[in-house]
């Protein structure tokens, strides 16, 4: 039959069950750490060697199980090959590769009855996931799925998590060394690593338990099948009604179908032995052709159903699912459905192998297209690597530039992972180039921030000096002198650059508290003063109304004293709010009007009024007023000198000369003004 065309299926299978159990039980928690540092690989060569050894042991065991079996096998070897060749419907050359590949894959699943289950779990794009999402997916798989169905998923998650975690560790290690740390003292771990270890250890524990139980079950199933073979052999020597023997034969077939999986290494030998004795029984059954033909007919109908399903699968859009189901159809064809009439075998086999080839070719085309997609992904990843390399080569001078570039590189890293897989042959090379350019960028970034830290320490020293100054001034009551100093301290603070982030908030809070303490006191003092000024405004408004109604007595001397008293009373009221200072101008105008009505010395009147105005001048205005008066005095002196010089040019110096009289009058007038301005300057000095 078809199955005997590939006598070495088991040679392509993975390591036998005993190796899996031994390997799984030997792993420990510490090995998880090692697996994350360097991606572990299956020791395929060792497994194959062990498998071959196991196969040889099984063959020896089968050959020596009884001298009778050995003799029968040798005696009928040629016959079996001929019968099998006929029953397996010779494969056309163009179909051989397709059939062999399907059978190879089916053989790999022979040991695990639930092998097809794992393919129903969607294989996600783990490459594009973050470490957090990878661990979430691992935890979900371990919790909700059968351990034997998630091997490929777990290995994919472990590989991607390892790459991403190692990249972070390498980056932190470089930063640690750049900061002057000793590699011996380096230690780094992320909480997500702990979650991964817990989930992965749970998976390994479940996997170990599963394979231990599976080994036990497989060996028990092997014993059942060997016993059924012995029972089948015994049918040829029993003397009973052929119908009873046939029923016994069908019962053995049913029990064989339900006997369960056996170790892969023994799968083909056990099946060949069983099939050999099935063929012998059918030869024995030729004495009762009705029973044999009825069985052939049933088998023919079952194989037609298998063919029909295979032809349906040829139109299935999900190529992977179709290929997996095709493997199961080959298993049914091989294990559960017996021979058909010889004249029909080639016809139905050709149909089945043709459908097999269609599905196989679609699968090949699918993977060919996948390779093209991988090549496109490779182009994208190369472009990303080139962009990161260009950024890494840039010369950035300030913090903001580096922050922008860090964000750009982070986006490119994310795009790299989202770009998808690349061809396996260049995967390691592409990953190495990606890590290298990222490492170059990080090295340049670390060098910049290392120099920046020195500058930040200098800035910290400057800001600490300002804090010390602010705290020394915060309790001062010398508002006029200290307020400008505090404002300058605030201005100087803004001009100083960044300080280390870990202490930035602390010193800013300390500085702000000192400044706020002073200005809160200043504002409180001003608010108190403002209340007094509002009250003074009310009094001055009432006083202004009173003086506007004041009438002179007619006695100039008494009226002057009264006006002086009014001016003194006005000054005694105090300051008014700044935006209401115009009330003082109103008062001055009223006083000026009163002095005009008085027949008194002009200079005396002017000095009285000037004395009143001085009360409204602050320090800055007093200084300006002093400068103005001095300039005025100098101007008047200059004019007097000029007039005196002009007198020398008069030819007629008689007292009757009108022009000369005019000059004398001007000189006297200037001297009076000079005396008035000097008196004002004296008042300023006294003030």
pTM of the model: 0.43
pLDDT of residue 362: 86
- The Cα 307–Cα 348 span in angstroms is 8
**What confidence score (pLDDT) does residue 99 get?**
64
Contacts of 316-319 with CB under 8 Å at 24 or more apart are 316/359, 319/359, 319/362, 319/363, 319/366
Extract the tokens encoding 54. 């196991």
pLDDT < 70 positions in the chain:
1-120, 178-180, 239, 285-289, 291, 527-529, 599-605, 607-620, 650-656, 687
pLDDT of 407 reads 92
Which of 262, 256, 258 shows the shortest CA–CA distance to 215?
A: 262
Model pLDDT, residue 115: 47
Task: Give yes or no for a contact between 567 and 588, defined as CB atoms under 8 angstroms apart.
Answer: no
Helix (H) and strand (E) counts in the chain: 23, 0
pLDDT for 30 equals 38
Residue 49: Cβ within 10 Å count: 12
Q: Can you give the pLDDT at residue 564?
A: 78
- Predicted local confidence at residue 513, as pLDDT: 93
pLDDT at 651: 64
């Amino acid at each position: 039959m078809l199955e005997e065309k590939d006598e070495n299926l088991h040679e392509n299978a993975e390591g036998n069950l005993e190796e899996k159990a031994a390997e799984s039980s030997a792993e420990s928690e510490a090995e998880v750490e090692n697996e994350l540092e360097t991606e572990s690989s299956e020791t395929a060569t060792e497994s194959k060697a062990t498998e071959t050894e196991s196969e040889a042991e099984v063959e020896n065991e089968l050959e020596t199980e009884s001298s009778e079996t050995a003799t029968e096998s040798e005696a009928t070897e040629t016959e079996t090959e001929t019968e099998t060749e006929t029953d397996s419907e010779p494969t056309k050359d163009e179909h051989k590769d397709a059939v062999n590949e399907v059978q190879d894959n089916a053989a790999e699943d022979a040991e695990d009855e639930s092998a097809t289950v794992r393919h129903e779990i969607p294989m996600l794009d783990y490459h594009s996931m973050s470490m957090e999402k990878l661990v979430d997916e691992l935890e979900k798989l371990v919790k909700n799925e059968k351990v034997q169905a998630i091997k490929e998923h777990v290995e994919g998650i472990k590989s991607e998590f390892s790459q991403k975690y190692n990249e972070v560790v390498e980056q932190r290690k470089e930063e640690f060394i750049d900061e002057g740390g000793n590699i011996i003292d380096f230690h780094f771990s992320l909480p997500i690593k702990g979650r991964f270890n817990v989930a992965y250890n749970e998976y390994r524990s479940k996997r170990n338990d599963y394979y231990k139980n599976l080994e036990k079950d497989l060996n028990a199933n092997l014993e059942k099948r060997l016993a059924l073979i012995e029972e089948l052999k015994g049918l040829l020597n029993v003397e009973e009604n052929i119908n009873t023997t046939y029923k016994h034969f069908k019962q053995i077939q049913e029990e064989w179908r339900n006997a369960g999986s056996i170790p892969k290494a023994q799968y083909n030998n056990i099946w060949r032995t069983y099939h050999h004795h099935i063929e012998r029984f059918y030869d024995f059954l030729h004495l009762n052709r009705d029973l044999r033909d009825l069985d052939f007919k049933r088998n023919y109908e079952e194989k037609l159903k298998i063919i029909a399903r295979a032809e349906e699968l040829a139109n299935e859009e999900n190529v992977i699912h179709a290929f997996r189901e095709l493997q199961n159809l080959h298993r049914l064809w091989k294990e559960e459905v017996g021979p058909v009439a010889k004249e029909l075998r080639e016809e139905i086999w050709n149909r089945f192998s043709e459908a097999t080839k269609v599905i196989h070719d679609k699968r090949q085309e699918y993977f060919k297209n996948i390779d093209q997609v991988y090549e496109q992904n490779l182009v994208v990843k190369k472009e990303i690597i080139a962009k990161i390399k260009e950024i890494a080569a840039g010369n950035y001078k300030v913090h903001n530039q580096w922050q922008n570039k860090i964000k750009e590189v982070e986006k490119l890293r994310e795009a790299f992972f989202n770009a998808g897989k690349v061809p396996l042959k260049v995967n390691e090379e592409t990953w190495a180039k990606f890590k290298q350019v990222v490492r170059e960028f990080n090295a340049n970034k670390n060098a910049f921030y290392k120099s920046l830290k020195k500058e930040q320490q200098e800035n910290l020293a400057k800001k600490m000096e300002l804090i010390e100054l602010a705290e020394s001034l915060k309790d001062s009551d010398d508002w006029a002198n200290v307020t400008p100093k505090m404002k300058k301290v605030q201005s100087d603070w803004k001009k100083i650059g960044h300080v280390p982030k870990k202490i930035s908030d602390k010193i800013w809070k300390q500085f702000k508290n000192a400044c706020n303490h002073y200005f809160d006191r200043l504002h409180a003092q001003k608010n108190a003063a403002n209340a007094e000024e509002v009250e003074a405004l009310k009094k001055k408004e009432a006083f202004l109304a009173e003086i506007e109604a004041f009438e002179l007595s007619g006695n100039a001397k008494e009226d002057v004293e009264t006006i002086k008293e009014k001016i003194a009373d006005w000054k005694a009221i105090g300051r008014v709010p700044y935006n209401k200072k115009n009330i003082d101008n109103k008062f001055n105008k009223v006083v000026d009007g009163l002095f005009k009505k008085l027949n008194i010395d002009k200079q005396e009147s002017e000095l009285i009024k000037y004395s009143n105005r001085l009360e409204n001048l602050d320090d800055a205005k007093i200084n300006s007023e002093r400068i103005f008066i001095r300039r005025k005095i100098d101007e008047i002196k200059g004019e007097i000198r000029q007039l005196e010089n002009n007198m020398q040019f008069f030819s007629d110096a008689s007292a009757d000369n009108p022009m000369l009289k005019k000059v004398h009058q001007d000189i006297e007038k200037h001297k009076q003004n000079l005396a008035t301005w000097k008196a004002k300057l004296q008042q300023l000095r006294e003030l």
